[in-house]
Chains A and B, each alone.
Chain A
Amino acid sequence: MAEGVKPRVKAPSSAAAGEAVVLKTLISHQMESGQRKNADGTPIPRSIINRFTCEFNGKSVIDVKMEPAISTNPYFEFEAVIPEAGDLKFTWYDDDGDVYEDVKSVAIA
């Protein structure tokens, strides 16, 4: 696993049924673009998170294809509709095969 990868998610703990809520995610990751060279001139190989998904109770909220132009420590903000109580699942897919996950439960207020 890439070092020091830590996801951070901001989601409300409760929502009205059918309400659209704002979600924010940040994950610490170098997002090495493959465009840079090291001190002796050899290219540094690409190593990025290439996909991010968010699901609620197994249904898709958003699915993002990520390219090397996404900044270090990738940040996303988007909205989800919360139809019932359940779990928001956030997943990041690394080039090296690692998968990082976070889950936030949302109650119906």
Chain B
Amino acid sequence: MEFTRRDTLAIGMGAVAITVLPFRVNAAAEEAISAFTGGADIAETGVTLIAPEIAENGNTVPIGVEAEGAVAIMVLAMGNPTPGVATFTFGELAGAHSASTRIRLAGTQDLVAIAQMADGSFAKASSNVKVTIGGCGG
């Protein structure tokens, strides 16, 4: 197959759209993150985020977070219309500082979990979840 100039241009623009889009969607998420951290540095270790690699249906995606010594953990779905998912605040009688729930994902995207530690530092983990589009699905 031969690529015409127009084809190449179209493919190129598609690629641009793909790379540019996440940044736009992320604006609200960036705001949520800075509200949570106050702009502090975020370490890349210390938080575990468990999510399926492929979610069979974006309507109910099981996820779990854990961060030893965390005061609170915020979960964001970077590609949702509104990125907020949940913020877990652990009390004095929390066992393991972990929690699981089921969430909605509007499409294939990154999930981010940010933990606030007892010493005031922050840490995060992220995971890409591919959301399949149903077949006929009835």
Q: Do chains A and B touch in the complex (CB under 8 A)?
A: yes
Main secondary structure of the interface of A (DSSP, over half): strand
Interface contact A66-B86, CB-CB below 8 Å:
yes
Q: Is A90 an interface position by the 8 A CB rule?
A: no
Contacts known (A60-B92, A64-B88); A71 close to B80, Cβ less than 8 A: no
Q: Is B40 an interface position by the 8 A CB rule?
A: no
Which of chain A's residues have a CB closer than 8 A to the CB of B99?
A: 62, 64, 76-78
Which of chain B's residues have a CB closer than 8 A to the CB of A66?
A: 86
Q: Once bound together, how far apart are the Cα atoms of A43 and B87, in whole Å?
A: 26
Interface contact B82-A62, CB-CB below 8 Å:
no
Interface contact A69-B89, CB-CB below 8 Å:
no
Q: Once bound together, how far apart are the Cα atoms of A62 and B70, in whole Å?
A: 12
The stretch among B8-16, B100-108, B128-136 that forms the contact with chain A is: B100-108
Interface contact A62-B89, CB-CB below 8 Å:
yes
Q: Once bound together, how far apart are the Cα atoms of A81 and B97, in whole Å?
A: 11
Q: Is A80 an interface position by the 8 A CB rule?
A: yes
Q: Once bound together, how far apart are the Cα atoms of A61 and B89, in whole Å?
A: 9
Which of chain A's residues have a CB closer than 8 A to the CB of B80?
A: 69
Contacts known (A67-B82, A67-B86); A75 close to B101, Cβ less than 8 A: yes
Q: Is B17 an interface position by the 8 A CB rule?
A: no
Residues facing B in A65-89 (CB within 8 A) are 65-72, 74-83
Extra pairs beyond A67-B82, A75-B100 (9, CB < 8 Å): A61-B91, A62-B88, A67-B86, A68-B104, A69-B85, A70-B85, A71-B103, A71-B104, A78-B88
B interface residues, Cβ below 8 angstroms from A = 59-61, 64, 77, 80-82, 84-96, 98-105
A interface residues, Cβ below 8 angstroms from B = 20-22, 33, 35, 55-56, 59-72, 74-83
Closest 4 CB pairs between A and B? A60-B91, A79-B95, A20-B95, A67-B84
